[in-house]
């Protein structure tokens, strides 16, 4: 009798843990409706969403979804924003690196070539609901000073932070992430 009660309680616990996991993924539509459920990524990298207590699986499209978040494990979650790249009208999902007043997003592009493929990582940022601007790239770029100036302009309403950024004279990916996080943290305090 005790064994069957133990087995039954373990089954209930597993069921509730599975439901709790499923409720952590979410999508936010352009109408600002938040739907909780489970997100799976197909073999070809396309995200699919199943709402809690539903069996219908739907594709997540940047045309209808403003943001989605997929919980990978207890310590790792990935959020994606639907944004148009500079000088483009088509929406794409970009991984959200830092969320706040300044949103920092990442796009990784793989380009096959004659001698293998090339991977270029580009970070874009926007302040509020403004358009994205390219801030940092791992590819060959002749506009480093221009990109740095755009980032400094985003920090300009916090003069102490901007001055610290200029004095440090580091425009690496880590520095951009660090100063974006500091900016966003100071804006919430």
Task: Look at residues 53, 74, 95 and tell me which one is the last residue of a structural domain.
Answer: 74
Sorting pLDDT into bands at 50, 70 and 90, what band is 189?
A: low
What are the DSSP calls for 34-89, one per residue?
A: EEEEEEEE-TTS-EEEEETT---EEE--TTTEEEEEEEEETTEEEEEEEEEPTT--
Sorting pLDDT into bands at 50, 70 and 90, what band is 99?
A: very high
Question: Is residue 13 one of the residues assigned to a domain?
Answer: no
The model's pLDDT over 127-167, given as tens digits with 9 standing for 90+, comes to 988 899 999 999 888 888 999 999 999 999 999 999 999 99
Task: Look at residues 74, 92, 112 and tell me which one is the last residue of a structural domain.
Answer: 74
Across residues 86-91, what is the average pLDDT? 92
Across residues 4-13, what is the average pLDDT? 44
Are 87 and 81 spatial neighbours (Cβ–Cβ below 8 Å)?
Answer: no
The answer to whether residues 104 and 186 belong to one domain is yes
Interatomic CA distance for residues 99 and 63, integer angstroms: 21
Are 55 and 93 spatial neighbours (Cβ–Cβ below 8 Å)?
Answer: no
The answer to whether residues 67 and 136 belong to one domain is no
The pLDDT value recorded for residue 113 is: 83
The pLDDT value recorded for residue 54 is: 85
Decide if pLDDT at 83 tops 90: yes
Residue 169 burial (10 A CB sphere; 0-12, 13-18, 19+): exposed
Element counts in the chain: helices (H) and strands (E) = 4, 10
CB atoms within 10 A of CB 82: 20
The answer to whether residues 86 and 169 belong to one domain is yes
Across residues 68-82, what is the average pLDDT? 90
Q: How many domains does the chain fold into? A: 2
The CATH number of whichever domain residue 34 belongs to comes to 2.30.30
Helix pair angle (159-168, 173-188), 10° resolution: 160
The answer to whether residues 37 and 108 belong to one domain is no
Decide if pLDDT at 101 tops 90: yes
The pLDDT value recorded for residue 72 is: 85
The answer to whether residues 89 and 63 belong to one domain is no
Question: Is residue 118 one of the residues assigned to a domain?
Answer: yes
Question: Is residue 7 one of the residues assigned to a domain?
Answer: no
Question: What is the span of the domain harbouring residue 107?
Answer: 80-189
The answer to whether residues 187 and 98 belong to one domain is yes
More confident position, 13 or 109: 109
The answer to whether residues 126 and 145 belong to one domain is yes
The answer to whether residues 181 and 149 belong to one domain is yes
The pLDDT value recorded for residue 114 is: 86
Summary mean pLDDT of the chain: 86
Sorting pLDDT into bands at 50, 70 and 90, what band is 23?
A: low
Decide if pLDDT at 41 tops 60: yes
């Amino acid at each position: 009798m005790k064994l069957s009660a133990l087995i039954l309680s373990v089954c209930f616990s597993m069921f509730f843990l599975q439901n709790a996991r499923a409720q952590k993924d979410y999508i936010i539509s352009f109408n600002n409706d938040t739907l909780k459920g489970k997100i799976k990524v197909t073999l070809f990298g396309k995200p699919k969403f199943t709402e809690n207590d539903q069996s219908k699986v739907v594709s997540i499209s940047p045309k209808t979804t403003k943001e989605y978040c997929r919980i990978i494990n207890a310590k790792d979650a990935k959020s994606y924003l639907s944004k148009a790249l500079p000088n483009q009208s088509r929406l794409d999902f970009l991984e959200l690196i830092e969320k706040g007043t300044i949103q920092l997003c990442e796009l990784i592009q793989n380009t096959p070539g004659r001698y293998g493929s090339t991977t270029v990582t580009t970070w874009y940022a926007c302040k509020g609901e403004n358009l994205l601007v390219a801030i940092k790239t791992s590819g060959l770029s002749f506009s480093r000073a221009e990109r740095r100036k755009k980032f400094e302009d985003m920090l300009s309403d916090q003069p102490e932070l901007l001055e610290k950024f200029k004095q440090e004279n580091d425009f690496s990916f880590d520095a951009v992430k660090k100063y974006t996080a500091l900016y966003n943290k100071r804006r919430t305090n």
